[in-house]
Amino acid sequence: MNIIETQGLGKRYRRTWALRDCTLAVPAGSVVALVGHNGAGKSTLLNLLVGLIEPTEGSVSVLGGEPAGSLAALDAVGYVAQESPLYQNLTVGETLRVVASLNRRWDQRRAETRLAELGIPRSRRVRRMSGGQQAQVALTLALARRPRLLVLDEPLAMLDPLARFDFMDTVMTAAYQDGLSAILSSHVLAELERVADHLILLSQGRVQVAGNVKSLLAGHRLLTGPAAETGKLPENLPVIHASAVGDRAGVLVSSGDQNAVPLGDWVGDLPEGWRQEPVSLEEMVIGYLREPDASVRSETAEVMA
């Protein structure tokens, strides 16, 4: 079952397309990293998944075919927006009561247990909590709804490193224990690499690359060698991005597909002084973001298991 499906999805604001021709299939149980420049269309995609906005073209469904924003979808989708918006004048306990009254699915014991484990008293007012504590309260509210899909829009932006680590550990624990799926938009690539098994990279409102992280990394290599001799590299290599620091060059290349290819099977023989290395998620993402037109997609940009 696919937890997220989009077909030709697009959203236009007046004359500007925020998202265009987005076709994805995300299998259930995935933890998906959604990355891209500011203004790439990440928040637009997440808002479409939650049903906060309607598409201009195409279709979007969640939870194995439920229309985004439908009653069935709303009951099973948890959402944490940017900056963890909470009622600043309420106490944590009052916040729980308000949210519980607005949801048909609510696990009060789970919410109270999480807050106790975090050391956040119910009597504390939201405005007196740190950014990390507010983010954890917002995540607690989402998890207490027992969602099947958790949508997180830049929840790490205002958190310190330890708070980010704790936040992501909570997400991973919930994914493991409850079997929920999650899609997380963030610029903190190191945290995403630690938790995500799938990637969606947007640039200029379009899907640039998408797929299983392990397969994507297996299909990319970083070639390093003398900057003056880049012309000696094989001509048929699909280059995503090339850069040079001093007399050394780095060239990110792709196999052009998402199959896990053993090291060296598709790069071929390299000139003397050159070598190939596996790439990290951060190196691959930055390469695509620097060259947004050099997209290497899967077939229909599907996120496959």
pLDDT bracket for residue 257 (50, 70, 90):
low
Determine how β-strand 149-153 pairs with β-strand 77-80. parallel
pTM of the model: 0.87
In whole angstroms, give the CA distance from residue 90 to residue 8.
Answer: 42
Q: What is the mean pLDDT of residues 46-58?
A: 96
Decide: helix, strand or coil at residue 241. strand
Mean pLDDT of the chain: 87
Question: Which whole number is the average pLDDT over 1-14?
Answer: 96
Could you give phi then psi for residue 67, rounded to 5 degrees? -60, 135
What is 141-198 written as a DSSP string? HHHTT--SEEEEESTTTT--HHHHHHHHHHHHHHHHHH--EEEEE-S-HHHHHHH-SE
pLDDT digits (tens, 9 = 90+) for 195-206: 899 999 999 999
Domain 2-196 has CATH 3.40.50.720: no
Task: In the chain, list all ranges with CATH 3.40.50.300.
Answer: 2-196
Assess contact for 55 and 44: CB atoms under 8 A.
no
Contact 62, 4 (CB under 8 A): yes
CA atoms of 210 and 16, how far apart (whole Å): 24
pLDDT score recorded for residue 142? 93
Average pLDDT, integer, range 64-70: 95
Judged by DSSP in three states, 139 sits in: helix
Considering only CA atoms, which of 196, 219, 234, 229 is closest in space to residue 288? Answer: 219
Please state the rounded mean pLDDT for residues 45-51.
96
Query: What integer pLDDT is reported at residue 297 of this predicted model?
Result: 40
Please tell me the distance from the alpha carbon of residue 267 to that of residue 236, in angstroms, as a whole number.
Answer: 9
